[in-house]
Structure 1
Amino acid sequence: MALLNLGEDPWLVEYESCEKLYRDIMEQLMQRQKLSRTSDKYSHLSATIRLRLKQYNNEVGQLKQKLDITTRSDSITAAESERRTRQLEILHSNSIKMQNLFQNQASSKAQEDRIRLMGDAGASAWGDSQTRDELSNYSADQLKTDQKRMLDEQEQGLDNLAQIISRQKNIAHTISNEVDLHNEILDDLGTHIDRTDNRVRTETQHISVVEAKDKTCIYWVVIILLFISIIAVAAI
């Protein structure tokens, strides 16, 4: 059976959505590569990329399931089924590429931080890439300067970490205050509900009394009318 309305096929629409998501994730990975691993933006972007990678894999899985269904139902031709299978393979390959890039970025950033904090082993006195002449030219003053620079960078990294922890603490306090406020509101609401319930019960009792009195009055009116009727009949 020939495939009709390819431009409006839901499978093709979802496939284009996957491709767009792939381009967006790659753009975010490029932005992440330029950021410092200790920055808030790096952490936020990393969390966003993780979620979007999971979304991408889920959408690719859904596309595969739908392709299997349409292939079994002969809704598309064999050639079209093969073409879409190759497209899915490309999507899957892109997923592996993005995952590897994401992990490699984290590893390279960690390595850069270690080099920044501990110093490049290749540039130290114990490195294998320098000759003895170059090591002899590395003065004590230069060594002190490099050590001071590394300590300053390490302290800066610790300061950034302390700021992040402080912000997380403030967020936790804010959430705790919001929860306490909501609990107070719920307590007040419960008190108002209890008061309203008591008033409703009291008013219900009053209504019952009024209804009983109304019924008694009706009975007396009927009795009086009967008494008057008896007297009128006796007089006749």
Structure 2
Amino acid sequence: MAGDMWLNDYDACSLLGQELMEQINERNKHARTSSAYTKLSAQIRSKSRQYISDLGKLKQNLMRASASYHITQREVERRQRMIDALVTKEKQIEQASRNEGQSRSLLLSPGTETYSTGDPWGMNEEPEALRDLNNQDLHQHQQVVIQEQDRGLEALSHVVGRQKQMAIDIGNEVDSQDVLIDDLNDQVHRTDGRIQRETRHIKIIDRKSGACCYYILIVVLFIAIVVIVAVPYHGKP
């Protein structure tokens, strides 16, 4: 149930990201001084904050589920790739909302690929939180983001390490159970051999018992014949 809830939250976050991109494209059709542009900008800023918050919750819930072993390692990796796709969409939304050139874009996202036109959607409004920051402040902001990502990766590394150790423990337990099963199998074979030997002995004894009865009957008949012959018959005159 918790896993289903996570997937539902993911779908909601992904849909919110799609709505953001559509609103940015819609805002681009209006003049910057129009009321429609202003209204859409306010909605975009509000939804952007909601998107970032939802994305953070997805990351935290995934780490909790992984740490408590509620899902498999393969499922953790699959959901991490899903989160990476949302992070990429977040960067696209941020890129589409900036109003400055490539120099600030490179400072905010070093080492990542940038668009040759600076903004594929034609919108270059910078997020309100970064609008008044100079290059030094932007660099500090970048360092904070990197540190948060490092902490998240470190936590994920600990989770993977615990799951690896658990897999090793399970493997060792399986090996010990295999040894016990082999011993039990050997004992079953030995017991089965003894049962077969005893069964053969019983059959031999049974056959001997039958032959002994015949021998006794023959001896009794022989004695009876001897007695009849030895005792004279006294008939009537």
- TM-score, structure 1 length as denominator? 0.49
- Scaled by the length of structure 2, what TM-score is found? 0.49
Greater per-residue helix proportion:
1
